[in-house]
């Protein structure tokens, strides 16, 4: 069920390169997808001279996604990998010598946490785990739609604090100093991994491709199409039926090159308790799902930053969020519970419907 939701999201937000070539292009468009990492569908679209060349790049990407998934997975320890699961298991006991990509991700998170007032707090693991258990219970039995007791959330919150995370770069170790503490990098790992893979593909020589990992989209170069100048990325309408979501139900379309587009939404993983929508983005101040918006979409080149900021902005109130977007010059589109939409000046010119953008050659 969780996978189905992620799949629907990926379809709704999938890349929409408007192919169709007049004349013979020197490079052709190919597609590849897989479903075995980050609990979501990863789609790669790109242009190469031959199918073999595309296959090589796509395989490289797939292999790297598997490696990064194994490092960033909190649910399962993978043989030979010292990642998030191993660090959580050793909480309160011993530092773990972690992979370089794990140290990079955790340092990236702590830097951005400090810049954004701990709205995204990767040490919130014990609290997030409770909400995930209640969501899982609901998926096992749709009549079992419950809220966790506040006392349980508060007891878990006592185990959550940024100070409990110690990263020793020189030693290459990570230590959760408090027994019962746990990392959850769900707010950023997929985007960070997508950025790593995209930069490695570029370093390998690929000039024109797009990766969508469950709606975290990273575009590199421009599409080598005769008809379009930019990649198209649909923004899902949070008020549309997710299962039936199609291109007609998009809120708008972004035309971008060399940018990432990431959306955090309350419709991605949720259940209902009465008329309360219990979704997967938790406000650390209340320990309950954040309620300011239906969705927040971020456009900025670095996919890890886009992923981090979409979650952080989802938790922040509008004034604070708008100031943060200005400070870091990121494009943001907010959809409010009453259906109103706000788009800042950075994102507006990139939007097809609201900004009049076009990608026709
Ligand atoms: P995203 O879909 O990128 O907005 O990330 C949502 C995921 O981030 C959730 O499924 C949790 O794993 C995690 N998460 C939710 N709320 C927070 C928070 N306030 N701080 C850190 N991680 C969070
Ligand atoms: Mg995120």
User: pLDDT tens digits, residue range 93-152?
Assistant: 999 999 999 999 999 999 999 999 999 999 999 999 999 999 999 999 999 999 999 999
- pLDDT tens digit sequence for 202-212: 999 999 999 99
Among 15, 30, 1, residue whose Cα is nearest residue 234: 15
Average pLDDT over residues 258-262: 98
Decide if pLDDT at 248 tops 80.
no
* CB-count exposure of residue 112 (10 Å: 0-12, 13-18, 19+): buried
Decide if pLDDT at 6 tops 90.
no
The pTM for the full model equals 0.93
Average pLDDT over residues 262-267: 96
**43 C-alpha to center of ligand 1: Å?**
22
189 touches ligand 1 (CB under 6 Å)? no
Cα 68 to Cα 346: distance, rounded to the nearest angstrom: 31
Cα 5 to Cα 270: distance, rounded to the nearest angstrom: 9
Token output for 181: 């503490």
How confident is residue 215, by pLDDT bands cut at 50, 70 and 90?
Answer: confident
Q: Name the DSSP class of 349.
A: G
Decide if pLDDT at 17 tops 90.
no
b/e sequence 1-13, b meaning 16+ C-beta within 10 Å:
eeeebbbbbbbbb
Ligand found nearest the CA of 315: 1
Q: Which atom of ligand 1 is nearest to the CA of 268?
A: 2
Give the number of other Cβ atoms within 10 Å of residue 309's Cβ: 32
121 touches ligand 1 (CB under 6 Å)? yes
Ligand found nearest the CA of 39: 1
3-state secondary structure of 312: helix
- pLDDT tens digit sequence for 270-311: 999 999 999 999 999 999 999 999 999 999 999 999 999 999
Q: Name the DSSP class of 267.
A: T
Ligand found nearest the CA of 124: 1
Average pLDDT over residues 36-52: 97
Q: What is the percent of the chain where pLDDT is above 70?
A: 91
Decide if pLDDT at 9 tops 90.
no
Decide if pLDDT at 1 tops 70.
no
Decide if pLDDT at 340 tops 60.
yes
How confident is residue 56, by pLDDT bands cut at 50, 70 and 90?
Answer: very high
292 touches ligand 1 (CB under 6 Å)? no
**282 C-alpha to center of ligand 1: Å?**
7
Decide if pLDDT at 198 tops 90.
yes
**289 C-alpha to center of ligand 1: Å?**
10
**119 C-alpha to center of ligand 1: Å?**
10
pLDDT top residue among 292 and 7: 292
The residue whose C-alpha atom lies closest to atom 8 belonging to ligand 1 is: 187
- Percent helix, strand, coil in the chain, to 5, is 35, 25, 40
264 touches ligand 1 (CB under 6 Å)? yes
pLDDT score at 244: 61
Beta-bridge partners for 278: 271
Substitution site in 6, 84, 128, 278 for ligand 1 pocket (most atoms within 8 Å of beta carbon): 128
Token output for 203: 């370093």
Helices (H), 123-163: 125-140, 150-157
Substitution site in 108, 281, 297 for ligand 1 pocket (most atoms within 8 Å of beta carbon): 281
187 touches ligand 1 (CB under 6 Å)? yes
Decide if pLDDT at 183 tops 50.
yes
Ligand found nearest the CA of 288: 1
Cα 297 to Cα 236: distance, rounded to the nearest angstrom: 10
How confident is residue 249, by pLDDT bands cut at 50, 70 and 90?
Answer: confident
How confident is residue 263, by pLDDT bands cut at 50, 70 and 90?
Answer: very high
83-89: long-range pairs with CB below 8 Å, 24+: 84/183, 84/185, 87/174, 87/175, 87/176, 87/183, 88/125, 88/176, 88/181, 88/182, 88/183
27 touches ligand 1 (CB under 6 Å)? no
Token output for 225: 């199409």
Among 6, 7, 12, residue whose Cα is nearest residue 261: 12
251 touches ligand 1 (CB under 6 Å)? no
The residue whose C-alpha atom lies closest to atom 5 belonging to ligand 1 is: 187
How confident is residue 24, by pLDDT bands cut at 50, 70 and 90?
Answer: low
Residue with tokens 């800042």: 344
Q: Which atom of ligand 1 is nearest to the CA of 188?
A: 3
Among 200, 167, 199, residue whose Cα is nearest residue 100: 167
- pLDDT tens digit sequence for 59-86: 999 999 999 999 999 999 999 999 999 9
237 touches ligand 1 (CB under 6 Å)? no
């Amino acid at each position: 069920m969780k996978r189905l939701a992620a799949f629907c999201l990926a379809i709704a937000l999938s890349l929409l390169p408007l192919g169709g070539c007049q004349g013979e292009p020197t490079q052709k468009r190919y597609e590849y997808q897989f479903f075995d990492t980050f609990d979501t569908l990863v789609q790669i679209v790109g242009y190469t001279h031959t199918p073999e060349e595309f296959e090589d790049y796509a395989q490289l990407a797939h292999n790297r996604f598997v490696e990064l998934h194994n490092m960033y997975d909190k649910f399962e320890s993978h043989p030979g990998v010292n990642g998030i699961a191993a660090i959580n298991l050793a909480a309160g006991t011993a530092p773990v010598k972690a992979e370089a990509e794990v140290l990079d991700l955790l340092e990236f998170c702590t830097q951005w946490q400090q810049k954004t007032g701990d709205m995204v707090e990767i040490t919130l693991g014990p609290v997030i785990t409770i909400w995930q258990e209640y969501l899982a219970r609901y998926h096992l039995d749709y009549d079992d739609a419950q809220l966790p007791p506040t006392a349980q959330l508060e007891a878990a919150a006592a185990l959550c604090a940024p100070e409990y995370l110690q990263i020793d770069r020189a030693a290459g170790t990570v230590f959760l100093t408090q027994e019962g503490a746990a990392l959850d990098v769900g707010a950023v790992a997929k985007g960070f991994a997508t950025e790593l893979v995209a930069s490695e593909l570029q370093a390998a020589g690929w000039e024109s491709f797009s990766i969508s990992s469950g709606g975290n989209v990273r575009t590199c170069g421009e599409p080598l199409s005769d008809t379009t100048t930019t990649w198209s990325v649909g923004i899902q309408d949070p008020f549309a039926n997710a299962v039936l979501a199609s291109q007609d139900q998009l809120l708008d379309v972004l035309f971008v090159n060399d940018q990432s587009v990431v959306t955090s939404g309350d419709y991605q993983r949720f259940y209902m308790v009465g008329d309360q929508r219990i979704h997967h983005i938790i406000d650390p101040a209340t320990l309950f799902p954040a309620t300011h918006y239906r969705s927040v979409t971020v456009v900025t080149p670095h996919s890890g930053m886009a992923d981090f900021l979409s979650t952080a902005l989802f938790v922040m109130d509008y004034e604070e969020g708008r100031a943060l977007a200005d400070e870091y010059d990121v494009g943001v589109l907010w959809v409010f519970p009453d259906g109103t939409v706000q788009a800042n000046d950075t994102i507006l010119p990139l939007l097809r419907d609201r900004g009049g953008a076009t990608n026709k050659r």
